Structure 1
Amino acid sequence: MRHSAIVGSILAAAALVRADSALIAVCKQIQQAVSPASEVFWPLSLGYTKDIGHWATTSTQNSACSVEPGTAADVGTVLQILNSTQTPFAVKGGGHTTNPGFSSTPGVQIAMYRFSEVNYDSATQTADIGSGLIWDDVYASLEPLGVNVVGGRVTGVGVAGFSLGGGYSWLTNQYGLTIDNIVGYELVLPNGTVTTVDKSVPDLFFALKGGYNNYGIVTKFTMKTFPQGQVWGGLMTITGDHLDAVSNATTKFSATVTDPKAAILPTYNFLLGAPGVSLIMFYDGPTPPAGIFDDFLAIPHFTKDVETRSFSSLVLASPANATSMTRTVFHTVSLTQITPGIMNAVVNESLFWGPRLSLATATFVSYDVEPFLSSLLTHGSISTSAYPPSRAQGLLPLNIYFAWEADLSDDEFRNAATQSAEQLTKVAISEGQDVGNAPLYGNYAIGSTPLERIFGDSLPRLQAAKQKYDPTNVMGLAGGWKV
């Protein structure tokens, strides 16, 4: 089936040579208007293939052409042309979204790869980070300087979408979400103007903190940095006969561990016809205090890669790229606490959907449990943000993550993810967790999620900012969470 998908992609790409003449004309107009720092690529070229490619094949579309802008001014030029011609487009940073059409298009694909610099300012203790990077590259650049930023936890995740959506990190218990640590943006407004956005522009500063690409294209993030030395942790894999032990240890960890330097990410997987757990442990220091991870370390393991190491090494130890280049869906449930009932429900959902979806070409069925301290939303200087719309209660996003091969099964997997999220929500509500209308984390939420479930009471403010900065709805020509 993988072979058939590849052949289908090649044939579809070849057909784009005969793409709509209006789209071809727009691509040529862009090619003539941008500076030598930028480049337009056409179907069947290597640059085009890279630009339209995504981590999940369900998020890849064949575009009329792709463009890699090399300057913020060129981004503005491209936006002006797209607006004047009313051409659909997409903006891609790292390409890790799983929702079709969010960063892909049959129109003009904008790939931000050339915004790839990391510049550290020791005087302000901030770093300017290009929107075309993945977090692996950011960490590798900052590590020799002994500093770090609040970014992604696993390999391969892009800076841009992650940072515009919220950003849960290994450092969140200490410093908050990624958006809590962004002090400025270089933004190309929909009218083509390049501007700097910081707290002196409160409506737009608010809107960019979790409001995605509704207000233009971000080319650079300015982030607070923090001292970073060696860390302890890594990946343990555990077989299905120890699921209860992992669940008990996870519940205990969530209820009792208050050290903000400690974090875990247990994922309950159904893989190769069997259940199991991939557990990543993290401590922000070379050695964790005694007792924090003892319950996990006592569980018999299948593999173990846990040691004192660099932060980059820990991130690269994650198995997140194991399902790249497959069809994928994410969905999520917002929890306020990790309980025995929730852990039992996670195990049951994994054991229920794993065998069933395997019959429909599933390659991976996973439930990712994310305990954080209840204080995770109290850090930083901002009191409001697009997401989460309220900071009164810490939210724990549980990620439902299915991967499969056959495109004919797309609806089946998306329906299964939705049903599973509904079931887990029912369990949480039955325990008294106030999550029935809790905002959902947009970086995990399935594409059919209503905007109100992501932005909640922030939505009117976001819509007002949208009307002010994008009155002709240029960014509405692109996909994503559109306010």
Structure 2
Amino acid sequence: MHTELLTALLTLVMGSFASQEHFQSFDDGVRPTAQQCCNSLEAVLVSSVILYPGSSGYTDQLGSYYSLDQATQRPACRIAPSTAEDVALIVKYATSSRCEFAVRSGGHMSWEGSSNIGHNGFTIDLEGLKLIELQDGGETLSIAPGLTWGEVYAFLKPHGLHTVGARSPGVGVGGFLLGGGVSFLSTEHGLGSDNVLDYEVVLSNGSIVHANKAERSDLFWALKGGSTNYGIVTRFLMPTMPLTQLWGGFLTYSANAVPQLYERMVKVTDQLKVDPRGLMIICTAWNPATKEHTVWALALYLAPHEYPSPLFDGLQDIAPIGGTTRVTNLGEILDEAGQALPKSQYSQWFTLTFKADAKLPWDVQLKGEDIFGDLESSDAHWEVLVQPMNEGMFSAGQKRGGNPFGLSRTHENLCLVMLVMVFWTNPEESALIKAKTQEYLKVSMDLARERGLLTEFIYANYASGTQNVLESYGEENIKKMRAVKEKYDPNNLLEVWKGGWKL
């Protein structure tokens, strides 16, 4: 849409607001109700679907959230814009009239309010923004935040291409990239956000701008870990890389194999400095049906070579119970990964990053028995998933203009990221289990700290809403992020955007 038309529409919107009794100026100390916000936006939006409680579309959108905690929130309406211009109209009105809202890309975060809101606001669901196209002769990919990574990969597969995206097909493009984004390609190419070449973003005043190395480079840097502070990104430009066949799959083990597996993971993480094309992830989980711990590992190599040396030396000596490793394509691995996580349950996550150690992850898993062992629920359970962070992840960000995460402060080439997930289905147990999960977080961090293993960095896409994610980036980076915030949203208008982590 041309700038002149957008300006005219904005004028129309603000004029229509001013003419209504309930839309007094913010200076009068009166703000519209969420329902009034929805009604006014419906009158002026050009190409958006507005859904109200009771409609099938509203119910379907809620049903597609990963966590029931998010799905049970009921905003006054859900707005699905299909153009950046409509996003701009919505943001302009919301920030001017102080209407509270949330934004949902894929809805894969677990904590309540991360990408949905209650009756006091409305939710912008970006599912209508589905643009995807190859550019520059296939060397770059333009993608909108309404896509899931499964849709992105399906588009790229016929071209024999891939990009640095999520490892589960249901994860949304937007949230993944604004939180950093750990990918199957990250040990070689860095985080997903390190690979963004350009952001198209709607700022708090409704303007649509681009941020890249050459244009608004300060905003470009900040958006790589920007959460909900700077604006709604309506398009990402990313590089592509050829990838057709690889080797990998899931291996299941008895709990007796856990010490050997974690020792092997530390060695694999060390060997990534020699060959960064591989990855090993270990998950230990409590099985409430059998009252035992189950164990699986994902081994992956971005070429069709089985157990390449020296990366996976010794892994074959640990006998699995079963496995699916084979030469295949990444799509099949993604489908397997998507099936590994429980769905349609209540869940709480938290994370910590620690110096590579073979003992801490299993000790954290066992601490779960002390914390959740007295639950009466028959299906409540927890999982501890661990994966490497290597020098390749640290250096890739610096080579591409830097990022806000402060990963170089760890002074460690070998780090592991832990994701702890707690699941249950009975809503009556929610308050108790959430309290126990916070206890579990404290116990886990204390254990890592006592052993001298805990590092500062908190990975946003795995974090609990109670964790101080932005503070973990370091004082210097936070100071710089705040300066960018002051420049592009000087009046903090985006405080009405709820969810995420705020500066």
- Report Cα offsets for 1:292-324 as digits up to 9, x if no partner: 446444444344222111111111111556421
Partners of 2:138 and 2:107 lie apart in 1 by 30
Does the residue aligned with 2:124 lie in a helix, a strand or coil?
A: strand
- Please say if residues 195 and 400 of structure 2, whose CA atoms lie closer than 8 Å, have aligned partners that are also in contact: no
Q: Which of 410, 415, 430 is the aligned partner of 1:410? A: 430
- CA-CA distance at 1:154 after TM superposition: 2.3
Partners of 1:416 and 1:225 lie apart in 2 by 43
Partners of 2:152 and 2:235 lie apart in 1 by 13
Does the residue aligned with 2:333 lie in a helix, a strand or coil?
A: helix
Which amino acid letter does the alignment assign opposite residue 275 of structure 1? H
Q: Does the C-alpha gap of structure 1 residues 452 and 83 become closer, same or farther in structure 2, counting only changes over 3 Å?
A: closer
Which residue pairs with 2:395 in the alignment? 378
Question: 248-257 or 82-91, which moves further after superposition?
Answer: 248-257
TM-score by length of 2: 0.85
What percent identity do the matched residue pairs reach?
27
Task: Give matches, 1:48-63, under 5 Å.
Answer: 48-53=58-63, 54-60=65-71, 61-63=73-75
Which residue pairs with 2:55 in the alignment? 45
- For the aligned residue pairs, the C-alpha RMSD in angstroms reads 2.4
Question: 153-162 or 252-261, which moves further after superposition?
Answer: 252-261
Which residue pairs with 2:193 in the alignment? 179
- CA-CA distance at 1:45 after TM superposition: 1.4
Q: What 5-or-longer segments of structure 1 have no aligned partner?
A: 1-19
- 1:331 paired with 2:355, answer no
Task: Give matches, 1:343-382, under 5 Å.
Answer: 343-353=361-371, 355-357=373-375, 359-360=376-377, 362-380=379-397, 381-382=399-400
Partners of 2:340 and 2:132 lie apart in 1 by 23
- 1:161 paired with 2:179, answer no
- Please say if residues 361 and 406 of structure 1, whose CA atoms lie closer than 8 Å, have aligned partners that are also in contact: no
Task: Give matches, 1:122-201, under 5 Å.
Answer: 122-123=136-137, 125-199=139-213, 200-201=215-216
Q: Does the C-alpha gap of structure 1 residues 52 and 469 become closer, same or farther in structure 2, counting only changes over 3 Å?
A: farther
Partners of 1:78 and 1:21 lie apart in 2 by 14
Which amino acid letter does the alignment assign opposite residue 425 of structure 1? M
- Report Cα offsets for 1:304-346 as digits up to 9, x if no partner: 2221111111111115564211111110111132x23324423
Q: Which of 208, 218, 224 is the aligned partner of 2:239? A: 224
Which residue pairs with 1:263 in the alignment? 279
Does the residue aligned with 2:418 lie in a helix, a strand or coil?
A: strand
- Report Cα offsets for 1:195-250 as digits up to 9, x if no partner: 11112212211110111121110011111111112111112222334333333332
Which residue pairs with 1:314 in the alignment? 333
Partners of 1:173 and 1:34 lie apart in 2 by 43
Question: 386-395 or 268-277, which moves further after superposition?
Answer: 386-395
Partners of 1:444 and 1:93 lie apart in 2 by 16
- CA-CA distance at 1:451 after TM superposition: 4.9
Which amino acid letter does the alignment assign opposite residue 226 of structure 2? G
Which residue pairs with 1:424 in the alignment? 444
- CA-CA distance at 1:71 after TM superposition: 0.5
- CA-CA distance at 1:475 after TM superposition: 2.1
- CA-CA distance at 1:448 after TM superposition: 1.4
- Please say if residues 102 and 122 of structure 2, whose CA atoms lie closer than 8 Å, have aligned partners that are also in contact: yes
Q: Does the C-alpha gap of structure 1 residues 379 and 291 become closer, same or farther in structure 2, counting only changes over 3 Å?
A: closer
- Report Cα offsets for 1:445-482 as digits up to 9, x if no partner: 21112355333222222222222212333321122101
Which amino acid letter does the alignment assign opposite residue 376 of structure 1? M
Question: 86-95 or 394-403, which moves further after superposition?
Answer: 394-403
- Please say if residues 268 and 346 of structure 1, whose CA atoms lie closer than 8 Å, have aligned partners that are also in contact: no
- 1:449 paired with 2:467, answer yes
Partners of 1:104 and 1:52 lie apart in 2 by 9
- Please say if residues 170 and 338 of structure 2, whose CA atoms lie closer than 8 Å, have aligned partners that are also in contact: no
Q: Does the C-alpha gap of structure 1 residues 404 and 305 become closer, same or farther in structure 2, counting only changes over 3 Å?
A: same
- CA-CA distance at 1:291 after TM superposition: 5.9
Which amino acid letter does the alignment assign opposite residue 87 of structure 2? V
Residues paired across the two proteins, number: 459
Partners of 1:383 and 1:196 lie apart in 2 by 16
Structure with the greater alpha carbon radius of gyration? 2
Task: Give matches, 1:100-139, under 5 Å.
Answer: 100-106=112-118, 107-123=121-137, 125-139=139-153
Partners of 1:191 and 1:320 lie apart in 2 by 41
- Report Cα offsets for 1:366-410 as digits up to 9, x if no partner: 001112323321015335322246456455321111111223333
TM-score by length of 1: 0.88
Q: Which of 62, 67, 80 is the aligned partner of 2:79? A: 67
